[in-house]
Structure 1
Amino acid sequence: MYTGGVHGMSTVTSYNFDLIKGVELQLSDVAKTSTARGKIKKYAITDLKNRAARGEMIFPEYLDEITIDNERPFYFTGSGIAIKFFEYEVAPYAAGMPEVKVPNKIFR
């Protein structure tokens, strides 16, 4: 989508399904409690801060403001989930749409 300025804005939408039940899964179906989602947020913040410390293009001053809820795009990996962040949310446009891979043991 082009909204003016130097470049357009991208978005991502994820669709995750329980193929046995035939229902779409939300993040709250995977990380069932607010405590579990809080652990995902803490893990993501730590991972992104570590990336910033290594010189990656991350905005560490904005990380405490991220939300981990049913609006957050995610997908399943072999060992957990990957959560996506939008352009400018945690990094500059040039960094793309960062993601953090969160192992199951963090939120289960």
Structure 2
Amino acid sequence: MQKAEERKKIIASGYTGELNQYETYFDYKLKYNQNGLLSIVFTNYQYTGGAHGLAIESSHTLNLETGEEFRPKDLMESAAGYISFISDFVRKEIDTRIKAGSLMEIGDSPFETIDENQDFYMSNKAVVIYFQEYEYFPYAAGIQEFSIDYISLEKMLKQDFSFLVDGAKLLKPSGTQNLLTAGDESLYGSKVAYAAEDGLFCARYGRR
């Protein structure tokens, strides 16, 4: 009880101690926002005092009218062979990156195939498959992404999603892209930093 009261006093006083032991950052990026669909990627970076931190991505692709969340299997015809097609594409791209010296693969767990619930998001031009740090590649490789153009998937997309092949909508006849729906690559969100000192756990919160 005494520790809890001390913690409240420290937080209320505007704690300004060193925050270099534990940190976590939350960010999000809008990747697709049109035709009643929203695809958003969240990034959570955590550092807990080891050699380096760890970033984890999660994504949600939603029907804005119904709230339904989509997985790759929801976009594709079941008999279209999209799993094999995308898996082969990703495998070839991995091999290309390895050959170019820009990527290494963890030897005892090489990539073989995606599944129906594979992590993905939608951009204006492609379905993007991604893998977490350490999933198939060493930490230094970061989160690897693989973009498969909608045009390449045209024959596999369900009719309800055939409009994706046409790409982003335009606001003006001049060809100016609709920036609201272009997939904003800038960072948004919040920063929450944590520190533990003298047995007390304190937090500092701020907008990015």
**TM band (smaller chain):** 0.7 to 0.9
**What is residue 63 of structure 1 aligned with on the other side?**
111
| Aligned match for 1:105, one of 139, 151, 161 | 151
* Structure with higher helix content: 1
Runs of 5+ unmatched residues, structure 2:
1-45, 157-208
| Aligned match for 1:87, one of 128, 133, 143 | 133
* Deviation at residue 23 of structure 1 after TM alignment: 1.2
Supply the distance in 1 between the matched residues of 2:106 and 2:96 (Cα, whole angstroms): 9
Cα distance change on mapping 1:60 and 1:106 into 2, 3 Å: farther
Contact 1:48–1:60, Cα closer than 8 Å, also in 2: no
Comparing 32-41 with 82-91, which one deviates more in the overlay?
32-41
Q: Helix, strand or coil for the counterpart of 2:152?
A: helix
CA RMSD, Structure 1 to Structure 2 (Å): 2.4
Counterpart check, 1:28 vs 2:73: yes
Supply the distance in 2 between the matched residues of 1:105 and 1:60 (Cα, whole angstroms): 31
Q: Which amino acid aligns with 1:67?
A: I
Q: Write the deviation string for residues 19-40 of structure 1: whole angstroms up to 9, x where unpaired.
A: 2433111121123326112211
Contact 2:86–2:148, Cα closer than 8 Å, also in 1: yes
Percent identical pairs in the alignment equals: 26
**What is residue 96 of structure 2 aligned with on the other side?**
50
Counterpart check, 1:15 vs 2:63: no
TM-score by length of 2: 0.45
Q: Which amino acid aligns with 1:68?
A: D
Contact 1:28–1:69, Cα closer than 8 Å, also in 2: yes
Q: Which has the larger radius of gyration?
A: 2
* Structure with higher strand content: 2
Runs of 5+ unmatched residues, structure 1:
none
Supply the distance in 2 between the matched residues of 1:76 and 1:90 (Cα, whole angstroms): 22
Q: Write the deviation string for residues 25-68 of structure 1: whole angstroms up to 9, x where unpaired.
A: 1121123326112211111111111111111123185122x433
